[in-house]
Chain A
Amino acid sequence: MSYIDIVPIGEVEETVLSFLKQSIFQTFKIQTRIRNRPFDLSLAYDPVRDQYNSSGLLLELINEPPPETLKILGVTELDLFIPIFTFLFGEAQLNGIGALVSAHRLHNQFYGISGNRELLESRLLKEGIHELGHTFGLIHCFTLKCVMKSSTYVEEIDQKSIQFCKSCEQEVLHWRNGRSISLK
C-alpha cells in the first residue's frame, strides 16, 4: 500500500487536516494518512523577514520518508518565502516526492476581511492538490478552471476549481499507471 502523507508543520487544526486527508484521497484515488513528526522550525526561520524559508522546510519534510510513502504534502500556518520571492503559497518538487502548502495568506483575515472557514479550506485544498500535482510532473495549465492553473492572488485561487482538467487528469493517471500503484 502506498500513501500520500499529510504532514503538519507547526500548529495545524485537526479538522483542517482530516478535511484535506479525505478530499485529497477523492482527487488522487490514492490512500492518504496524517503523519505527525517533529520539526526544528528555528532552522528555517528568518528573523529579518519574519518568515520561514520554504525550501528549507521542504528539505526537512522529505528527509528519510517511510518506505510506503508515495508523496508528502506538508501543511503549515507559517508564512513562507524563498530568498528571491517575497512570499509563496506553496512549493513542490516537480516530479519529486514532496510538496508544501501554507494557509498563512489564504485566510481572509490576512487581507483584513472577516474569516470564512469554508473558503479557507477550499483554498488550502486547491493549493494542496496543485502542489501535489507538480510532484506528479504536472506544470501549470491554462485551462480556466483547472486546479493546475497558477495563481499568485487568493482571488485567482477562488476562480479555479478543485479539479484537474481532462488533460491534466490524464497525466496523473498516466503517472500512476506507469508505477502500477494499487487503487485500493
Chain B
Amino acid sequence: MNNQGVGILVVDDEFSVRDSLCNWFRNEGYRTETAESGSEALRKLQDSLWDIVLLDIKMPGMDGMELQKHIKKIDNTIIVIIITAYATVDTAVDAMKEGAFDYLSKPIDPDKLSILIRNAVNQRRLIAENIQLRQKVEELTLQDEIVGESPQIKKILEMIDTVAKTDATVLIRGESGTGKELVAQAIHGKSNRRYFPIISINCGAFPEGLLESELFGHEKGAFTGAQYKRKGKLEMANGGTIFFDEIGNIAAKMQMDLLRVIETKQFTPLGSNKVVNVDFRIIAATNSDLEKKVAEKDFREDLYYRLNVFSIQIPPLRERTMDIPPIAHYFLDKYARSMNKDVTDISPEAMRILTQYNWPGNIRELRNTIERALVVVGKKNRIEVEDLNLLFLPKANPPGDSLEEIEKAHVKRILEQSDWNISRSAETLKIDRVTLYNKIKKYGLQR
C-alpha cells in the first residue's frame, strides 16, 4: 500500500499552516497542493481530482462551511476534513452534520492527524471500490432484463424482491429457456450480497469427476492433469451467491458432497488437507421434475428439502402470451443496436405469429428468432413474416383482421395443437363439441 495517487488539497488563509501541512503530506508521499481561499480551492477542485480536502473553517471571503457545500456539489465522495481553532468547535460540529468526515483543532496533534488521514484514505478507497463494484453490478443487470407485464411476471418480480432481502436458499423451476439464470441474477443483484460475485455453474455440463474439481478446486497434482492449484467456484462465490443450474442432473456422490457443503459451509479442495470456510447464498435451478426424481430415488430427499426453501416457478412463455410483444421488442432494440441496423418495428402479421406460436424453447427461442430475423431482414426497417423462421410455424397464410378470420385461425390452431382431438379442443375453446363441429364446417377446416 502506498499513498501515491492520493490527492490532498489544503485550504487555509494562513501561509504557515498551508506550508507545514503541505510539507507534512508530501513527506507522507501524498500528492499535495494548497489554496489560500475558497475560490482558489474551487478552481483547483475543477482542474484536477482530489480525494481529501482539509479546509479552515474561518477564512475571509468564502468561509469553510460555504466551500464545503460547493465541494459536495462538485463531487460528494470527496472527503472533507475541517480545521478549526478551539473557539469554533461548534461550527466544526455543524460542518460534520453537513457531511464533513471529521475535524481537527489547531494546533493539530500530529498523531491524531496521521490516524485521521489514514482512516480517510481507507474510507475513500472503500467508496471508490464500491462505485466500481456497483457499476459492475449495474452492467450485469443491464445485460438482460426481466421483461413483461403479465400478472405471472409481476408476481415473480414481487417474489424476487421478497426473497432478495433474506438469505434463504431459492429453487427456481421452469422449462429450459424461461430465464432462470436471469431470475437468479436479479435476486443476487437486489440482495445485500450484491457487491460480491454471483458464480454460476451448469451442473449438467460437466462429467462427474470434473464437476467436483470445478466446485471444490484442487491442489497442484491432486490428479493427473492438475498441473496447477485451482480455486473452486465455491471459494470464488465467497460472500456472494452461487447459482447451480440444472441441479437435477448431478450424480449421487456429488449430491452427498453438496449436501455436506450446504449444511456445514465448509469443504476441502481435492488433494488438500485444509478445510475452507465459505459463506454464500445458494440459488438452484432445474427444469426437471425433482419430486419424481426423489420418488424414484434419483435425487436425495434431504438435499431436495435443503434446496426447496423458497421456490419460484417461471411459467412457460406460451402461458403468458401478453409478454411476447414487449419481450420481442426488447430483443429487437437490443440486437438492432448491437448489429447497428435501423430496424424499429415488427409488422402486425409477424407479431401475430409470434404471439400464436407455442415457443417450446421459451424466451431463449424468441431471442434467437428475433436475432435471426434481424440478420435476414435486409434493408427493410421492420421485421416481416418472411423473416421469421419458426420450427413449427403453421404455413397457412396469416389471418386478416376481421373477427371471423381471427376465429378461423384460432380454432384451426387449437385443433392442430391437440392433434384434432375434438373434445379437448372444445374444452380449451370453452365451447361444446357441436359448436366446434359447426365452426369446422363453417370455415371448411381440414386436418
Contacts and interface: CB of A to CB of B under 8 A. Distances in A.
B16 to A, nearest CB: 5
A84 B16 contact: yes
Given A87-B110, A142-B1, A152-B114, A82 B16 contact: yes
Contact of A139 (B26, B107, B109, B111): B26
A161 interface: no
Interface residues of B, number: 21
Interface string B13-41: 00011001101101111000000000000
A153 interface: yes
B27 A85 contact: no
Nearest to A49: B107
Contacts of A83: 16-17, 20, 106-107
Interface in A82-97: 82-88, 94
Contacts of A160: none
Nearest to A91: B23
B108 interface: yes
B2 interface: yes
A139 B114 CA distance: 15
Contact of B20 (A82, A86, A152): A82
A84 B20 CA distance: 7
A130 to B, nearest CB: 10
Interface string B106-139: 1111110110000000000000000000000000
Contact of A140 (B1, B27, B109): B27
Given A83-B20, A84-B21, A84-B106, A152 B111 contact: yes
A134 interface: yes
B contact patch SS? helix
Contacts of B17: 83-84
Interface in A112-167: 134, 139-140, 142, 150, 152-153
A85 B107 contact: yes
Contacts of B23: 94
> Which residue among A83, A134, A142, A153 has the maximum number of chain B CB atoms within 10 Å of its CB?
A83
A52 interface: no
B21 A150 contact: no
B28 A150 contact: yes
A81 interface: yes
A134 B27 contact: yes
Given A83-B20, A94-B23, A152 B29 contact: no
Contacts of A153: 111
Interface string A65-102: 00000000000000001111111100000100000000
Contacts of B24: 85
Interface in B66-101: none
A139 B23 CA distance: 10
A111 to B, nearest CB: 13
A140 B117 CA distance: 14
Contacts of B110: 85-88, 152
Nearest to A152: B111
Nearest to A81: B107
Contacts of A142: 1-2
Contacts of A81: 107
B107 A86 contact: yes
A84 B28 contact: no
Nearest to B109: A86
A86 B1 CA distance: 28
A158 to B, nearest CB: 15
Contacts of B21: 84
Contacts of A85: 20, 24, 107-110, 113
Contacts of B113: 85, 152
A71 B1 CA distance: 31
Contacts of A134: 27
> Which residue among B20, B21, B29, B109 has the maximum number of chain A CB atoms within 10 Å of its CB?
B20
> Which residue among A87, A134, A140 has the maximum number of chain B CB atoms within 10 Å of its CB?
A140
B29 A84 contact: no
Interface of A: 55, 81-88, 94, 134, 139-140, 142, 150, 152-153
Please name the 7 residue pairs, one residue from A and one from B, whose CB atoms are nearest each other, closest first: A152-B111, A139-B29, A84-B20, A86-B109, A152-B114, A84-B17, A86-B107
